[in-house]
């Protein structure tokens, strides 16, 4: 079998101003049933900020701004149905409208969005996000 090519993902800490971030349980061939941040594949020609804003909008309907780089992880997922290797760029962004409600716009890919107090993400945690938590990143 030809080896999978490493890809770039962007994960987003969507901040609502009260130490909470948005998480959802993945329905995917990669990390199925694990809790992850909104985000996705970096598309050709995108900046990291553009990808963060696009993926959050596509997946939750939320608009974010003040988007900043947070951390980067290197994750080799060997025991998945489809082995894969991801470099994940973690970004953070604030809600443009602090009262906006997240919608689950891709129910085929996500069980639904919920706010949790960082870093208390429920188990099982998607591997790249677990690496960010273990880095002791602090929201404020």
Task: Out of 34, 60, 88, 131, name the contact with ligand IPR by CB under 6 A.
Answer: 88
The H-or-E segment that residue 111 falls in is: strand 110-117
Nearer to ligand IPR, 46 or 94 (CB): 46
Binding pattern to ligand IPR, positions 15-54, x when CB under 6 A? -------------x-x--------xxx-------------
Residue pair 23/17 in contact (Cβ under 8 Å)? The answer is: no
Residue pair 64/14 in contact (Cβ under 8 Å)? The answer is: yes
Size of the site for ligand IPR (CB under 6 A): 10
Collapse the DSSP code of 3 into the 3-class scheme (helix H, G, I; strand E, B; otherwise coil) and give the result. coil
86 counts as binding ligand IPR under rule CB under 6 A:
yes
């Amino acid at each position: 079998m030809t080896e999978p090519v490493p890809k770039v993902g962007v994960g987003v800490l969507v901040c609502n101003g009260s130490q909470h971030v948005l998480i959802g349980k993945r329905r995917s061939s990669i990390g199925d049933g694990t809790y992850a941040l909104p985000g996705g594949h970096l598309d050709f020609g995108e900046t990291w900020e553009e990808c963060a804003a696009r993926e959050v909008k596509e997946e939750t309907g939320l608009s974010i701004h003040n988007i900043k780089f947070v951390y980067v992880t290197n994750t080799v997922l060997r025991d998945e149905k489809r082995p894969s290797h991801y470099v994940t760029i973690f970004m953070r962004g604030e809600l443009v409208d602090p009262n906006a409600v997240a919608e689950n716009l891709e129910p085929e890919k996500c069980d639904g969005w919920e706010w949790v107090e960082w870093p208390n993400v429920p188990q099982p945690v998607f591997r790249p996000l677990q690496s960010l938590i273990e880095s002791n990143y602090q929201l404020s």
